[in-house]
């Protein structure tokens, strides 16, 4: 498992999934702040409330993508880091909703 080819493939999977999530959250931010509703029944901080957990998850995937890209470019693969990132990616793939709810429980704009 510690051979370079396997770690390169895992790093590529991490990078592709991170890029997909980064693009998804970028478009989500654009749509969220572009369609700013002026409805008097909606509070002013609603956009910030919705954006808070997305910003945290966006930053995590930005770090994952950055590390995966650097490790692929330099061809230096740290077994434990790549396996931890890959494990996080797989766990997020299956349990992303629960992680999103956990981050949202610390939302400073919450109710």
Q: What is the pLDDT of residues 50-74, one digit of tens each?
A: 888 889 999 999 999 999 999 999 9
Domain positions in the chain are: 4-104
Nearest Cα residue to 82 out of 71, 94, 97: 71
The per-residue pLDDT for 51 is 83
Q: In Å, how far are 36, 41, 46, 106 from 17, measured between CA atoms? A: 29, 38, 29, 25
- Per-residue pLDDT tens over the stretch 78-103: 899 999 999 999 999 999 899 888 88
The per-residue pLDDT for 31 is 84
Average pLDDT, the chain: 87
pLDDT classification of 36: cutoffs 50, 70, 90: low
Q: In Å, how far are 11, 61, 73, 87, 110 from 84, measured between CA atoms? A: 11, 13, 19, 5, 31
Element (H, E) at 53: helix 46-74
pTM value is 0.84
């Amino acid at each position: 498992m510690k051979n370079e080819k396997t770690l390169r493939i895992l790093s590529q999977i991490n990078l592709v999934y991170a890029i997909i999530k980064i693009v998804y959250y970028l478009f989500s931010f654009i749509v969220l702040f572009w369609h700013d509703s002026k409805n008097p029944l909606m509070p002013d901080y609603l956009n910030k409330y919705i954006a808070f957990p997305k910003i945290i998850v966006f930053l995590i995937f930005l770090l994952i993508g950055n590390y995966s890209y650097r490790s692929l470019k330099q061809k230096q693969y740290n077994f434990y880091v790549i396996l931890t990132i890959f494990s996080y990616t797989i766990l997020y793939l299956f349990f992303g909703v629960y992680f999103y709810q956990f981050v949202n429980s610390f939302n400073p704009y919450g109710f």
